Amino acid sequence: MKQLLLVLALAAALLPAGASHERASAHGFSHRDRTASGDVLPARPAGRAIEPSVIGADERVQVTATESFPFSAVAYLELEDSFGVVFASCTATFIGPDALLTAGHCLWDAELEDWGAEHIRVVPGKDGGFEPFGSQYASDWWVPDQYALSGSPDWDWGVIKLPNSLLSDATGWLSVTVAPTEALEDPEFFPTIVGYPGDKPEGTMWGLIRSAFLAVEEFTLYYDIDTAPGQSGSAIWSAADGPYLGLVVGIHSHGSSVNSGARIDRELMEDLLAACEAMDCSIDEVEAPDPRALPVPQFRGGDRPGLTGPIRDGPHRPDYRMARSPWAHRDFRLLLAGSATVSFVMPMQFLTQIFWVQDRFPERDVLYVGLVAASRGSAMLLFGLVGGAFADRFERRRVLLGCQVASLAIGAGVAALMIAEPLGGANIGILLLLTFAQAGTMAVDQPARTAATPAIVGMESLSSAITWQMVAQQVTFPIALPLVGFLNSIVEPGTVYLFTLSAWLVILPLIAMLRFRSVGTANRSVSMLGNIREGLAYTRRDATLFGVIALVVVLQVVGMAGPATLGPVWMLKVLGLSTTQFGFMAMTWGLGTSVASFFYVWQKDLPAQGQTLCTAVLLFALFAVVFAHSRLAPLTAIANFGLGFALVGTMVSSSTIVQRTVSDEMRGRVMGLFPLTQGLSMLSGLPASVAGQAYGLPVVFPILAWTTLAATGMIIIRRPSLRVVGRSQPATSAVSGGD
């Protein structure tokens, strides 16, 4: 009883001076968010709503004791899209240990005929930026199927389930009852609505009490309690000092000249119970009390130590840590498995081509290896920009599937050519054409894959997702490289290449099972070439994007031309290694990339910092210098390890910074610059191989390494802003809808 005296105190300030059709019981269906971990999260900024439904003068009063029951049981809902951006807000009320009551239109978009939110963050007792109990992401939510089909206010309610009772143990919850009409028509029932209106300061709780409802109908309650968008889903409960004190009897859902909400009748209650049966949650239903009974305390929940002390800034304020992982997303796991499989077979295919060229054309192997790299590079250069435009114009999941089907078909052609060798010396020309086509599919695939990642995991988990993608790409190297050396030492290269095509028995089903939907929002009123121009101009105008891309270009074009493109030839001819020994030497690069990948998983905040990018690029250049001057296998192995480590640092950091900086409209085109830089890297292998053929690799490698160090150092010195990227992150703004 004492815990509800706050309501009665509020009533003294809020009370004014004075005072059918059939609805069948509806079944419903739910939406499960499998990313909800059950962890309680810390505070973060919220959005706003507009267009209040105020009747006459605005008489709402702000509630500041939000950590006190029953206000602690009122929750602010942040509705997030697939990118983790808050696009709307609503109100919900705890009606059980893991269940909240809200409006159906907060959960289901009747116009789109689809779920409105991808994720829902539940913040009980929120007071501006203060979140006394932390927050959780909902694991499931439900609406009646009749609301999903018709959008009718007669079925405008919904239930939200939390993963556990961690929040309600501290906040408590209100009980729900089916109140008879005579009780609801009591002139001193004192209906109360408390929630989070969007026309007030952001994330603040406001409420109002009237002495009675304007009208009580079979399925609807009418009142002149002022509300605003954002308060949709607020429970309607009684503040009367009697048996109905604190009992929920309705759900606020609509505002106009007369505001209204759904009345909890027996059919509606059965639907709520059915919802929780389907989602495995609990609702605290109580029988309609005897009007002669005395009011009883309504707090339900666990112990709340510290609520009598200084909560806002004191030692009892919860210290929760955010612990969301991209692994919680099913589609991310599928995409990651596919990326790992592709990363396993691609180096095997490329190196098998090199072994085939060296075996069939020993007198021109350096030149032809350079031509193979150049054919790959020219395709990446050309199709990288086109692929970025594709990713910004079309559904990205379908782009991925189309690219991998094409890659399988082209790979089959390469295997047939290497095995049959139908054209003698002209086979090298056919190989170059097929290599060009296969690299083109990769160049289209990569921007769609990277641009889709935020849609799968959200911006909050993006850095971790990018790092895990790098793990998937690089951890396979220690296995793939010695394996390809061993296989090519015992069987023909064509047979090895044919063997690698079996990987698509895994890749294609993984992509087909993806469920996410990420459609580019590029301006389709202009041509694809116009979209490409827009992307290039956008990158050039943004100082951060331009500086990051410039560093990546230098590393890929100059730095990678030696150790990466011509590295196999260097190790076989200059160091005199066998193909098997080469496989183990190349494995040190893979080990470096693997160690770096797990290092950045551990230090997940580092990739977003410009200092990390600058350090990684300079380390790559220094290890390239060591590699170029070494003639000792152990020292070369150390340098190779360092190159792999620094390359991962560069690519993870550059990708993270760009993804966090670029707008979603331009995401595919800007991310398409990365395969473009890879294409430039492969193209640079041609002049490097020509120079190596003419002057010798021991002359060319040091020149490339020292040039990389000088160029990257100059960019970092001339663009000091790169070193401060990521030191402080601005708060994310969002717009919330409502009533």
pLDDT at 277: 85
pLDDT-derived band at 603 (thresholds 50, 70, 90) equals confident
Name the percent of the chain lying above pLDDT 90.
Answer: 12
696: closest CA among 611, 593, 573?
573
Determine the pLDDT at residue 296: 43
Q: Comparing 499 with 24, which gets the higher pLDDT?
A: 499
Average model confidence (pLDDT) for the chain?
77
Do you know the residue count of the chain? 739
Label residue 340 by pLDDT band (50, 70, 90).
Answer: confident
pLDDT, residue 149, reads 81
3-state secondary structure string across 8-54: HHHHHHHCCCCCCCCCCCCCEEEEECCCCCCCCECCCCCCECCCCEC
Query: Burial level of 556, CB count in 10 A (0-12/13-18/19+)?
Result: buried
Q: What is the DSSP string of 80-128?
A: E-TTS-EEEEEEEEE-SSSEEEE-GGGTEETTTTEES-SEEEEEET-BT
Residue 100 has pLDDT above 90, yes or no: yes
| % of the chain residues with pLDDT over 70 | 81
What tokens appear for 626 in the block? 């060591």
Average confidence (pLDDT) over 282-308: 52
Checking if the pLDDT of 622 tops 90, the result is yes
Mean pLDDT calculated for residue range 264-285: 86
pLDDT, tens digit (0-9, with 9 covering 90-100), for 41-50: 544 433 333 3
Contact 513, 334 (CB under 8 A): yes
Q: Is it the case that residue 257 has pLDDT exceeding 70?
A: no
- Of 320-329, 631-640, 705-714, the range with the lowest mean pLDDT is 320-329
**SS3 readout for 478-491:** HHHHHHHHHHHHHC
Model pLDDT, residue 619? 94
**Any idea which residue has 């032809």 for tokens?**
368
Task: Provide the pLDDT confidence category of residue 504 given band limits of 50, 70 and 90.
Answer: very high
Asked if residues 234 and 226 have their Cβ atoms less than 8 Å apart, the reply is no
Query: What integer is the mean pLDDT of 662-683?
Result: 76
Mean pLDDT within 438-454: 84
Which has the minimum average pLDDT: 84-98, 173-187, 452-466? 452-466
* Angle value at C-alpha 465, between 462 and 468, nearest 5 degrees: 155
Diameter of the chain measured on Cα atoms: 104
Task: Name the band, by pLDDT with cuts 50, 70 and 90, for residue 556.
Answer: confident
Lowest mean per-residue pLDDT among 203-207, 537-541, 723-727: 723-727
| Higher pLDDT pick, 621 / 113 | 621
- 670 and 538 Cβ atoms separated by less than 8 Å: yes
Which of 9-13, 286-290, 575-579 is the most confident on average?
Answer: 575-579
DSSP reduced 3-state for 177:
coil
Residue 701's Cβ-side half-sphere holds a number of Cα atoms within 13 Å equal to 24
CA distances from 519 to 112, 389, 391, 451 (A): 16, 12, 8, 10
pTM: 0.51
Give the pLDDT band of residue 292 (cuts 50, 70, 90). very low
Burial 439-457 (b: 16+ CB within 10 A, else e): bbbbbbbbbbbbbbbbbbb
Q: HSE (CB half, 13 Å, CA atoms) of 640?
A: 26
Q: Is it true that the peptide bond before 52 is cis, omega within 30 degrees of 0? A: no
For residue 166, which phi and psi values (nearest 5 degrees)?
A: -60, -40
pLDDT tens digit string along 354-384?
888 888 887 777 788 878 877 877 787 788 7
pLDDT at 159 over 60: yes
pLDDT of residue 307: 26
The tokens describing 13, both together, are 């300030």
Average pLDDT (537-565) is 84
In angstroms, the CA 403 to CA 400 distance is 5
Q: What is the pLDDT of residues 677-732, one digit of tens each?
A: 776 776 676 688 788 778 888 888 889 889 999 999 998 888 777 777 766 433 32
In order of 382, 388, 495, 600, the CA distances from 467 in angstroms are: 27, 21, 34, 6
Q: Residues 474-503: pLDDT tens digits? A: 667 667 877 888 888 888 988 999 999 999
List the structure tokens of 610. 């410009």
Give ∠ CA 442-444-449 in degrees, rounded to 5.
85
Other residues' Cβ atoms within 10 Å of the Cβ of residue 81: 16
**From CA 678, how far away is CA 470, in angstroms rounded?**
15
Q: In this predicted structure, what is the pLDDT of residue 242?
A: 76
What distance in Å separates the CA atoms of residue 221 and residue 664, rounded to the nearest whole number?
43
235 SS3 class = strand
Q: Which residue has the higher pLDDT, 478 or 309?
A: 478
